[in-house]
Amino acid sequence: MDWQRAGDSVAALERLGKDDVAGIAQTVGTNSIPETHELLLLLNDAATKKGDVGLTLRDVPAAIEVGQECNEELDVIAEALAWCQEQWDVVEEQKRYSDYWLITPAIAEDIENGHRECYQWSI
């Protein structure tokens, strides 16, 4: 662990306050915002274990404001993740239901006809 960097982070935390995760990350310079947030969580855990709860999870903001460029990147990544999830779902449904994994008009007609035949046999 880089103690100098941790010390810089704590000094920035004291100076900027617990809500300015981006400012703390920028002050330290070597930490990204997620790394800084992780450090704050580790500090919280350590303080809780020692019984000296000067910083709690309530003190760390649940969300931060991100810039337009970051927001656009997150949207692209979210779309890619959704596509991957959809592809995985298709494969799983094909494994489970074979030809009937996706109900098309033709398959729906086959199901309807099969249902009608079963109904007629039961009368």
What is the pLDDT, as a whole number, of residue 1? 47
Tokens standing for residue 90: 């298709």
Task: For residue 2, give the nearest of 29, 23, 33 by alpha carbon.
Answer: 29
Report the percentage of the chain scoring pLDDT > 70: 76
What is the pLDDT, as a whole number, of residue 76? 96
What is the pLDDT, as a whole number, of residue 19? 75
What are the residues whose beta carbons fall under 8 Å from the beta carbon of 2, sequence distance 6 or more?
30
Ranges in the chain, pLDDT < 70: 1-10, 30, 50-60, 62-63, 121-123
> Do 33 and 61 contact (CB within 8 A), yes or no?
no
Tell whether pTM > 0.75. no
